[in-house]
Amino acid sequence: MKITLCVFLSITAGSVYGQVKQLHVSVGRSVTFRTEVKNSRNMMYLSKVIAHVISGEREPLSNEYDSRLQWNSSTGLFSLSGLKMEDKGLYTVVRNDGTQAVEVKYQLMVYDGDGELQSNAITLISLQI
């Protein structure tokens, strides 16, 4: 019985982690990643940290996202404003509530003025310290 239960839980977790939410936004607009993260976390682009929040406070980082990336301490949501074509890609938010990690993926498609879509890969990570 225990083996069956473990297999079931593994399949359930895999299906949650496998989902990718599609976001379609035009150049110049803003996008909000609807995964609440209230504790310590990092937001990364590939392997580079682009945002860092510790104990509910955002730490300033010098990078191209710093002035356009916001974290709302009340809602726990990240938003990226003034979208550019190069912001396209796969964003991953990993939230750790102290008992388990939850990963949510967002495929951001950015439209230019002619309706052309672009995409890339980005990772956002939430860690509880």
Q: What are the chain's domains?
A: 20-126 (2.60.40.10)
Q: pTM for the complete prediction?
A: 0.68
Contact 110, 84 (CB under 8 A): yes
Sorted by sequence, the CB contacts under 8 Å of residue 48 that are 6+ apart come out as: 63
How is residue 54 written in tokens? 């510790």
Total residues belonging to the chain: 129
Burial class (CB in 10 A: 0-12, 13-18, 19+), 39: middle
Could you list the beta-strand ranges (E) of the chain: 20-26, 31-33, 41-45, 48-54, 57-59, 69-71, 78-80, 89-96, 101-111, 117-118, 123-126
Sorted by sequence, the CB contacts under 8 Å of residue 6 that are 6+ apart come out as: none
pLDDT digits (tens, 9 = 90+) for 82-125: 999 998 888 877 776 677 777 778 888 998 876 655 555 555 55
Residue 109 has a CB neighbour count (10 Å cut-off) of: 15
pLDDT digits (tens, 9 = 90+) for 32-91: 988 776 666 656 555 566 777 777 777 777 677 778 988 888 888 889 999 999 988 888
